[in-house]
Amino acid sequence: MLRASVGLLITLLSFALLVKLGLWQLDRAEEKRALMAQLEARQQQSLSWPLDDDDLAGYRLGIEGRWLSEHGLLLENQVLNGQVGYRWLVPFEVSAQQPWLLVDLGFVPAPMQRTELPVLPALPEYGAVEGRLTQPGTNRLAMALLPEAGITTRIQALNWPELTQWFEHPLVPAVLWLEQPSELGFERPWRPINLSPEKHQAYALQWFSLAAACLVIALIVAWRGRLQPAQRVDNLG
pLDDT in tens, 175-207: 999 988 888 888 888 777 777 788 899 999 999
Same domain, 202 and 90: no
55: left (phi over 0), alpha (psi -120 to 50) or beta: beta
Q: Has residue 42 been placed in a domain?
A: no
For residue 29, the surrounding DSSP H or E stretch is helix 2-42
Q: Is the residue at 217 inside a domain?
A: yes
Is residue 166 included in any domain, yes or no?
A: yes
Please indicate, yes or no, if residue 97 is contained in any of the structural domains: yes
Q: In which domain, by residue range, is 157 found?
A: 59-180
Contact in structure between 108 and 85 (CB atoms under 8 Å): yes
Q: Does residue 186 lie within any of the structural domains?
A: no
Q: Does 153 lie in the same domain as 101?
A: yes
Same domain? For 101 and 171 the reply is yes
Residues 39-92: tens digit of each pLDDT: 788 888 889 898 888 889 889 999 999 999 999 999 998 989 889 999 999 999
Burial 47-83 (b: 16+ CB within 10 A, else e): beeebeeeebbbbbbebebbbbbebbbbbbebebeee
- Same domain? For 209 and 173 the reply is no
Global model pTM greater than 0.95: no
Over residues 215-228, the pLDDT tens digits come to 888 787 777 766 55
If asked whether residues 168 and 203 sit together in one domain, one would say: no
Judge if 78 and 157 occupy the same domain.
yes
Q: Provide the number of structural domains found in the chain.
A: 2
Give CA–CA dist 35/193, Å, rounded.
9
Predicted local distance difference test score (pLDDT) of residue 233: 45
